[in-house]
Structure 1
Amino acid sequence: MKRFLAALIFCAFTTPVFILSADIAQAQVGMASYYKSGRKTANGEKFNPNGYTAAHRSLKFGTKVRVTNLRNGRSVIVRINDRGPFIRGRIIDLAFGAAKAVGLHNSGVAKVRVAVLQ
């Protein structure tokens, strides 16, 4: 049985968030954007612009990650099903539905934390 340490993180404008140490160890911080057009994803499935999916350059298809908008503290769990983003400096592209959930659909880009869930 694995043992996990946990951290309690307090943000100025949000409620406390309970994060497993496994999430912290595998987290990336960088810029995210969103996309809402396309026919098929890189893994061959039909693209759903309102879905909770994302594109990442190197994570395996089917990997679930928690994406947290660092500006407002909102987070969403998405499944990696596509490749990208292809713009330098960005670490993940969210489908429009996931972007709305974390509040980056108006700005178009936001600084996020991407934590792989196990």
Structure 2
Amino acid sequence: PQKYTVLGKEYSVMRQGAGFKQEGDASWYGMKFHGHATSNGEIYDVYQMTAAHKTLPLPSYVKVTRKETQESVIVRVNDRGPFHEGRIIDLSYAAAVKLGINKAGTAAVSIEVISAPIKGPEKWLQVSALSNQQSAKALQKKLQAMQQWPVVIKSNNKGSLHKVRIGPVPVGQATDKVITILQENQLPNPLVLAAHQL
């Protein structure tokens, strides 16, 4: 919906997030919501690099930078929130750990939409296709810990094959860097896919 109401307050969803920047506090949400549906119908997984925002189109990709440390992560916005004064983004547990805010609970951040599009073409790096979902989730967690881009699991309709992909990643140095990280960690060379091959 283009508008929705929470706690008596109406929010208007942006038509597009291109160029959007914002500063404020980030918080995170954890196990209580694990396995529940997000606002765009996906299932919330604390180990994925996702986030909630009140008005950005779903999904959007956002670069979140913690002001104190200048560390950044890229998250996929697939939920609505946080409905708390002064907070601009609610991070998944995995993203909060990456930024070191899981213990403090909140931190000052700046956010910037990069989904539209990451300058130039984007690629997805398929690292593996596994029959066991738990193995796919374990690999997803491992990949998320070693690099900054989102890691998604794409399962077939029967649930018999689970493809683990990193992306979207901008073509060029960023893609090369991820491939180097995979090689350094004795992981297979990924299958490099363009958007139309997904």
Match of 1:75 in 2: 72
Work out the percentage of aligned pairs sharing the same amino acid: 43
Match of 2:15 in 1: none
Match of 2:49 in 1: 52
Which of 12, 26, 32 aligns to 2:26? It is 32
CA distance in structure 1 between the aligned counterparts of 2:60 and 2:110, rounded to whole angstroms: 15
Give the match's secondary structure for 2:75.
strand
Q: CA deviation at 1:27?
A: 1.6
Q: Which runs of 4+ in 1 moved over 2 A?
A: none
Match of 2:112 in 1: 115
CA distance in structure 2 between the aligned counterparts of 1:93 and 1:100, rounded to whole angstroms: 13
For structure 2, the 5+ residue unaligned runs are 1-17, 117-198
CA distance in structure 1 between the aligned counterparts of 2:67 and 2:104, rounded to whole angstroms: 13
Number of residues of Structure 1 aligned to a counterpart in Structure 2: 95
The alignment's TM-score, normalised by the length of structure 2, stands at 0.46
Q: Which has the higher helix share?
A: 2
For structure 1, the 5+ residue unaligned runs are 1-22
CA distance in structure 1 between the aligned counterparts of 2:102 and 2:68, rounded to whole angstroms: 13
CA distance in structure 1 between the aligned counterparts of 2:39 and 2:20, rounded to whole angstroms: 23
Greater relative CO (CA pairs within 8 A, separation 6+): 1
Give the match's secondary structure for 1:100.
helix
CA distance in structure 1 between the aligned counterparts of 2:73 and 2:59, rounded to whole angstroms: 15
Amino acid in the other structure paired with 2:106: V
Give the match's secondary structure for 1:84.
coil
